[in-house]
Structure 1
Amino acid sequence: MSTTAVLPSPASTRHTSGGSVQHGALTADRAAALLVGCASVRRASELHAAAVRAGVDQDKAVAFRLQRAYAASGRLDLAVALLRRTPDPTAVFYTSAIHAHSSRGLHHAALALLSEMLLSPHGLLPTAHTLSASLPACSGLAVGRALHGYAVKLALSGEPQAAARALFDGMRPDPHVVSVTAMLACYAKMGLLDDARSLFDGLPSKDLICWNAMMDGYTQHGRPSEALRLFRRMLRSGVEPDEVSVVLALSAVAQLGMAESGRWLHSFVNNSSRRVRLNARVGTALIDMYYKRGSLEDAVAVFRDLGGDVRDIVAWNAMINGYAMHGHSREALAAFGQLRAQGLWPTDITFIGVLNACSHSGLVDEGRELLASMEEEYGIQPKVEHYGCMVDLLGRAGRVEEAFDLVQSMKTTTAKPDTVMWASLLSACRLHKNMALGQQIADYLVANGLANSGTYVLLSNIYAAAGNWREVGRVRSMMRASGIQKEPGCSAVEVGRRVVEFVAGDRSHPRAAEIYAKLEEVKGMARARGHVPRTELVLHDLDDDDAAKEQALAVHSEKLALAFGLISTPPGTAIKIVKNLRACADCHAVLKLASEVTGRRIVFRDRNRFHHFVDGSCTCGDYW
C-alpha cells in the first residue's frame, strides 16, 4: 500500500468526447451523484479533477465517494492518499478504507489503518461497521478478542454485525506486529493500560506506531510520567520519533509541569531531522506545554516563530487560552481580532478562551457581546461551557442575581446547567456573602441529587465565613451521610528536575524542620510589612482561638511549597507552584509579600489560572 500516491490535479483532466466532465456548474451534490457506482480509475480521476476545479473536492460527501471510487477501481494507494488529505475525516472514511483492504486480503494494512484511526488526533471512535470490517483481518484469536472487548466497551457488541463477527475462528496462532499494535491501541483507548503494556513488552521488535500507541494510552489516562519515560526509552532504542511522538511527549510534560523536560523537547524539535518540524501541530503542542507550566513568554515566542502562514485556528486557540489563563485578557481579545483579520473563522473553543479571559478580568460588557455574537455573527450555538464562562464572569463581578437568572433561563435551552456552573455560582455567593441565595441553590442541588463534594464544601464555607458553626456541622453531617469526602488540597513545587508535593500541615519531608523554620521566617517578614492573618477564612470551629486559627492558616500546602522552594533553590531563582484547588486570600497575600521581601518571582497556578507574583504585586490584580 503506497502512502505517497499522486492524486489527480485539475490540469491532469483529459477531456474526451462522451467521457469528459462538464464542471462549469458542478455542485457538490452533482459531483457526489456522478461518483455513485464509479469503478473506473480514469473516470474517478476526471471527476476528482473537476471537483477540484469547481472547489467542491473538500465536501465530505464528495471526498468520501471519491475514496470509494478509487478503492473500487483497485487503486487503494490513491484511496488512502485521499483519506489522509481529507480534513477531519470521520470514522466512516476509515471504515471504508479498512474494509477495502481487509476484503482483498491485505490484513496488515487494514489493521494499520485501524491503529491510525484509534490514534487520530480527532478522537475518532470505531462504529460496529468499523469493527466488523476489521475482524476478518485479525491474524490471531487474541486480536479478535481485543476487538470484541472494545465492542463491548463501546456498547456495540449487541449490534448483529459486530456480534456475529466476534465469533470468527481460523486465525493463525502467531499474530504479526501490526495485529498486536491494533490490539494494543484498543486496550490503550479503553484504559486497560496494564494489558496494553503487557503486549508492548512482549513484542521483540517494536515499530514507531507501537511506541506511539503505548504513549498515547498513558497520556490520555493520566499517567504522563510513564509516557515520558517511554519516549526516552524509544530514543535509546534507536527508533526515530515522528511528530506524533513529540506531541504526545509534550502533552505529558504539560500534565507534569516539568520545565526542564519541556525545554529539552523544544530543543529536540529545533535540532531534529526532517521527520519532526515546527509545524502547526508541533507548535501548538509547544504553546500548550509552555503556558500550562507557567512560561507564557516562551509560548508567545513559539507562536511568533510559527509565522502567519503556518498558524491555524487551533494554534490561535492555544495562544488565546494561554493569555486567558495568565490573566492577559486584553491580549486574548486582541488575538481574537487578529485571527479574524487574517480570515480565520473562530470555533466554539475560541469563544471559551475569550470568555474565560473576560471572566478573569471582570470584562462584563465584552463578555456579553462575545456570547451574543456567537450565534448572531458566527452561527455557533453556545454550549454549556460558554454559559458557564458567562455565569463565572457575572458572579466574580458581583452580579450574582444576574448570574442566577442566566442559569435559570438555561432550563429552557439545550445547554442544561452542570455541576461546574452551579459550583461557580455558589462560589460567587460565598465571595459576595449572599448567604440566602447560596443556601437556596445548595438546597436545590441536594434535593435533586446534584450535590457533590464541592457543593457541600462551598455551603459549609458560606456558613463558616458567617460564624454559623451549627449549620457548618449540619452540612458536614449531611456530607458524611452521603459518603462524599472533600478533595484534599495539595501543592507541588518544582526544584530542578524533581516535583515535590505537600498537603496542609505536612511534616513527612526529610527537611521538615528546615521547611517549618523558613515558614516562621516568612510569617515574621509578612507581619513586619503589616500583614494580618485572615483568620475568618479558617473553616473550623476553634472556639474563637485566634492563635489556633492563625496556625491553621500558616501551614497551608502552598506556603509549605513556598518554604521548600526558598530553601532548595539559589537566591533570585523563580519558584513555580501548582495547587489542585483555589488559593485562599491569606495565602495570596503572603505570596505577594514573599515576592517583595525575597526578590523572587513566584509563579503560582491554582485550579483556574496562573498568578505571577513579582515585587509585591500579582498579575491578577487581586481579582481572581
Structure 2
Amino acid sequence: MSSTPLFTTPRPPPPLPLSTSTTHQSPTVDRLTFLIDKSKSINHLLQVHAVLLRHGLHHHPVLNFKLQRAYSSIGRLDYSLALFERTRNRNVFFWTSIVHGHAQRGLHDQALFYYAQMLIHDVEPNCFTFSSLLKSCPIEPGKALHSQTIRLGFDSDSYVRTGLVDVYARGGDLVSAQQLFDTMPEKSLVSLTAMITCYAKHGELDKARLLFEDMEDRDVVCWNAIIDGYAQNGMPNEALLLFRQMLAARVKPNEVTVLASLSACGQLGALESGRWLHSYIENNRIDINVRVGTALVDMYSKCGSLEDGRLVFDRIKDKDVVAWNSMIVGYAMHGFSRDALRLFREMCAVGHHPSDITFIALLSACSHAGLISEGWRFFYSMKDEYGIEPKIEHYGCMVNLLGRAGHLKEAYLLVKGMKIEPDPVLWGTLLGACRLHGNIALGEEIAEYLVGKNLANSGTYVLLSNIYAATGNWEGVARVRTLMKLGGVEKEPGCSSIEVNNMVHEFLAGDRRHPKSKEIYMMLEEINNWLRAHGHTPHTEIVLHDLGEREKEQSLEVHSEKLAIAFGLISTQPGSTIKIVKNLRVCLDCHAVTKLISKITGRKIVMRDRNRFHHFVNGSCSCGDYW
C-alpha cells in the first residue's frame, strides 16, 4: 500500500466560502460538518479538507470521520483509506466506516481484512460493523461472522439478523435463511425481499408469492425479486403480469426490472410486448447501456425479429463479449450460419476474446447448416488457440452437428471418448439422430443403456417410441409406453403460442378451450381443403399410435402449431406476418403444411421450435428442410 501523502500538497485548491461574513475567521466545527455533508464532488471535499489542514482541524474526530466517510461515498475509497491510515486513536466508528466502504463495493476480502485488523487492535465491533460486513458477504465467512454475532450478543439486532438472512439466502442455504427469518420479531422490507429472492432461487414460487402478497409496502427491489423469480423459473406470463401490476402501482422500474421483463418477453416470443417495453425504456430515459442493449438483442432474436435485434446491436456503445455473443446466438438460432461466422470474425478483429458461450453459438450455427469441417475447426480451436476446455454443451453441439449430417458412428465415438461423463441430454441428442436416420440398432443400444442406468427421461422414451413407430414396430411402441407408465414418466405435451394484440394465446394438440374455438376449427377445415387441393399427403408415418390411416390424419390435423396458425389467420390482418412459438421440435407434417400455408395465403410465418427458427415464405423454409 502506498505511503505517499495524498493531501499535503504545497498549493491546495482555493477554499469554499465558510461564512457569509469574513473568511479569515476560524470556521466552526458545525459549519465544516455541514459543508462535508453537502459536498457532492471530489473538488468540494478537497477544498474542505484543505481548510481542515490550514486550521489544524484535520485530527478532529468528528470532522475526520465525516470526511473519511464522504470520500468513500463518492467512490474515492483510496482517499478515504489514506485518511484512515493517518487517523490517531481509531475507534469502532472509524474501523466500521472503512469496512463499510469496501463491502459496499463488493471488496469482500479487503473488508474482512480490515475487520481482522480491527480485532487485532483490540477494538470491539458493534452491530453496525456486522451489518456492514454482511452486505454481499459470501456464505462461508458469513457463517463465521454469524458465530461471532452470537458470542457478542448482536444476533438479535434487526439489521444484523437481516444481513444474516441475506447471506444465507444468497448462498443458497434455504433452511438456515428460513430459520433466521421465522425467528425475527419484526420483518423489515430488506429481510422480506431477501427471503423472497431465496425462495425464488430455489423454485419455491408459491412461498415467495405468499410473502410478497402479504407485504404492505413494496419497493422496486422487492418487485424485481418476484418478477425475476418467475422469469428465471420458466413462468414468463406471470412475470409480465406482475410487471404490469408494478406499473399500475406506480412503482418506477429500473434496469433490473427491464432485464427480467425482457427475458420474459423472449421466452414467450412476445414481440409486441417486447417492442412496447423497448419504447417504455426509451421514453422513461432508462439508460440503454451494454446490459440493457444486450437484453434487447436477445429478446428481439428470440421473438423472431432479427432485424430489430441487429439495429439495437449496432447502436450499443462499448460492446463486450456478451453483447457480441447475443448477436451471434441470434444469427445461429435463425439459421443464418454464415452471418454468425462472419460476425465472429468481426468480433475477433476488434480485439475481443471469445468465451465458451461464443463457441456454443458457433457450433450451433454449424449444426444448423451441416458445416462439419468448420465445426471441427472451431471445436479444436477452443483449447488450442483460446485455452477454453470444451464443456458438455460443446460436445452436445458437435454430436448434434455430426448426428444430423448422418455421421452417427463418428458422433458415437466422440461421446464414448469424452473426458467428462456424458449426460442424458447428450445421449438424447444422439438418440434423436438415430431416429432421424433410421438407425434402430444403435438407438436401441443407447436407450437400453439409459434405462439401465436410470438416466432415461420422457424424451428418451419418446425418441425410442418414434424409432419403433417409424418401422411399424407397434409391439416395441407398446413396450416403451408400458415402461413409461411403470416409471411414472409423462410425455411433455406439445404447446404452441401466438401473440395477438399484446396477449399471448396458448394451444395444446386438439385444444378446444379457446373462446374462439369454433372459428379456429372452421379455419382449420378451410386449411385442410387448401392442402388437399394442392396435393398434400399427410405424413402419417410419424404418428406414434397403431391407428387407421384416417385416424392418423385426424391426429395430425389438430397439432398445436396448426391451431395457433389457424387462430393467427382469423385474428390478424391479411398479409401480416404470423409468429408462432412451439415448445417441442416441429414435426415433419406441420413443417410441410406450414410451407404450403405460407404459399397459399401469401403470409410469412415465423416459427420458433425447441431447436431453431423457421422462416416460411412462399412455400419455402429458411432451414432448407434441414432441421
Whole-Å Cα distance in 2 between the matches of residues 461 and 596 of structure 1?
A: 30
Provide the residue aligned with 1:183 in structure 2: 195
Distance 1:94 1:523, change over 3 A: farther
Distance 1:192 1:446, change over 3 A: closer
Equivalent residue for 2:617, pick from 579, 590, 614: 614
Question: Which amino acid is 2:303 matched to?
Answer: R
Whole-Å Cα distance in 1 between the matches of residues 564 and 610 of structure 2?
A: 16
Provide the residue aligned with 1:557 in structure 2: 560
Residues 150, 190 of structure 1: 8 Å contact kept: no
Q: Does 1:291 align with 2:301?
A: yes
Provide the residue aligned with 1:575 in structure 2: 578
Equivalent residue for 1:105, pick from 119, 127, 142: 127
Provide the residue aligned with 1:604 in structure 2: 607
TM-score of the pair, normalised by structure 2:
0.78
Question: Which amino acid is 2:292 matched to?
Answer: V
Q: Equivalent residue of 1:604, what SS?
A: strand
Provide the residue aligned with 1:382 in structure 2: 390
Equivalent residue for 1:530, pick from 523, 531, 535: 535
Residues 184, 200 of structure 1: 8 Å contact kept: yes
1:159-196 deviations in Å (ceiling 9; x for gaps): xxx99xx7899x98434433433333333333333443
Equivalent residue for 1:278, pick from 274, 279, 288: 288
Question: Which amino acid is 1:79 matched to?
Answer: H
Q: Does 1:255 align with 2:258?
A: no
Question: Which amino acid is 2:612 matched to?
Answer: R
Q: How does 1:3-18 map to 2 (within 5 A)?
A: none
Provide the residue aligned with 1:407 in structure 2: 415
Q: Does 1:214 align with 2:226?
A: yes
How far 1:526 sits from its partner (Å)?
Answer: 2.1
Provide the residue aligned with 1:424 in structure 2: 429
Equivalent residue for 1:594, pick from 589, 594, 597: 597
Provide the residue aligned with 1:174 in structure 2: 186
Distance 1:255 1:96, change over 3 A: farther
Q: Equivalent residue of 1:75, what SS?
A: helix
Provide the residue aligned with 2:569 in structure 1: 566
Provide the residue aligned with 2:33 in structure 1: none
Whole-Å Cα distance in 2 between the matches of residues 603 and 94 of structure 1?
A: 53
Q: How does 1:194-205 map to 2 (within 5 A)?
A: 194-205=206-217
Provide the residue aligned with 2:361 in structure 1: 353
How far 1:345 sits from its partner (Å)?
Answer: 0.7
1:210-246 deviations in Å (ceiling 9; x for gaps): 2322322222223333332333333344433221121
Equivalent residue for 1:472, pick from 465, 477, 499: 477
Q: Equivalent residue of 1:113, what SS?
A: coil
TM-score of the pair, normalised by structure 1:
0.78
Residues 287, 318 of structure 1: 8 Å contact kept: yes
Whole-Å Cα distance in 1 between the matches of residues 387 and 159 of structure 2?
A: 49
Provide the residue aligned with 1:23 in structure 2: none
Distance 1:538 1:237, change over 3 A: closer
Larger radius of gyration: 2
Residues 142, 164 of structure 2: 8 Å contact kept: no
Question: Which amino acid is 1:352 matched to?
Answer: I
How far 1:155 sits from its partner (Å)?
Answer: 8.1
Question: Which amino acid is 1:262 matched to?
Answer: G
Distance 1:436 1:251, change over 3 A: same
Tell which deviates more after alignment, 222-231 or 378-387.
Answer: 222-231
Residues 535, 549 of structure 1: 8 Å contact kept: yes
1:319-351 deviations in Å (ceiling 9; x for gaps): 111111111111111111111111111111111
Equivalent residue for 1:227, pick from 212, 228, 239: 239
Equivalent residue for 1:321, pick from 326, 329, 353: 329
Provide the residue aligned with 1:79 in structure 2: 102
Whole-Å Cα distance in 2 between the matches of residues 167 and 590 of structure 1?
A: 58
Residues 329, 360 of structure 1: 8 Å contact kept: yes
Whole-Å Cα distance in 2 between the matches of residues 349 and 96 of structure 1?
A: 35
Residues 601, 612 of structure 1: 8 Å contact kept: yes
Identity of aligned residues (%): 53
Provide the residue aligned with 1:139 in structure 2: 158
1:528-577 deviations in Å (ceiling 9; x for gaps): 223211111122112xx322222221121111111111112121121111
Q: Equivalent residue of 2:127, what SS?
A: coil
Q: Equivalent residue of 1:377, what SS?
A: helix
Distance 1:397 1:329, change over 3 A: same
Whole-Å Cα distance in 2 between the matches of residues 248 and 576 of structure 1?
A: 22
Distance 1:236 1:152, change over 3 A: closer
Distance 1:96 1:503, change over 3 A: farther
Tell which deviates more after alignment, 226-235 or 417-426.
Answer: 226-235
Residues 196, 208 of structure 2: 8 Å contact kept: yes
Distance 1:148 1:269, change over 3 A: closer
Q: Equivalent residue of 2:253, what SS?
A: coil
How far 1:504 sits from its partner (Å)?
Answer: 1.6
How far 1:140 sits from its partner (Å)?
Answer: 7.6
Question: Which amino acid is 1:247 matched to?
Answer: L
Residues 76, 100 of structure 1: 8 Å contact kept: no
How far 1:277 sits from its partner (Å)?
Answer: 0.8
Provide the residue aligned with 1:27 in structure 2: none
Q: Equivalent residue of 2:607, what SS?
A: strand
**Structure 1: tracts of 5 or more residues without a match:** 8-39, 49-69, 84-88, 118-125
Whole-Å Cα distance in 2 between the matches of residues 103 and 206 of structure 1?
A: 32
Q: How does 1:146-157 map to 2 (within 5 A)?
A: 150=169, 154=173
Provide the residue aligned with 1:61 in structure 2: none
How far 1:313 sits from its partner (Å)?
Answer: 0.6
Question: Which amino acid is 2:135 matched to?
Answer: L
Residues 71, 79 of structure 1: 8 Å contact kept: no
Question: Which amino acid is 2:541 matched to?
Answer: E
Q: Equivalent residue of 2:435, what SS?
A: helix
Whole-Å Cα distance in 1 between the matches of residues 302 and 234 of structure 2?
A: 16
Residues 332, 340 of structure 2: 8 Å contact kept: yes
Whole-Å Cα distance in 2 between the matches of residues 286 and 44 of structure 1?
A: 40
Q: Equivalent residue of 2:158, what SS?
A: coil
Q: Equivalent residue of 1:611, what SS?
A: strand
Whole-Å Cα distance in 2 between the matches of residues 188 and 508 of structure 1?
A: 30
Alignment size in residue pairs? 539
Whole-Å Cα distance in 2 between the matches of residues 73 and 94 of structure 1?
A: 9
Distance 1:177 1:488, change over 3 A: closer
Residues 140, 172 of structure 1: 8 Å contact kept: no
Equivalent residue for 2:375, pick from 355, 367, 373: 367
How far 1:298 sits from its partner (Å)?
Answer: 0.9
Distance 1:334 1:139, change over 3 A: same
How far 1:150 sits from its partner (Å)?
Answer: 4.5
How far 1:262 sits from its partner (Å)?
Answer: 0.8
Provide the residue aligned with 1:12 in structure 2: none
Question: Which amino acid is 2:526 matched to?
Answer: E
How far 1:441 sits from its partner (Å)?
Answer: 1.2
How far 1:78 sits from its partner (Å)?
Answer: 4.4
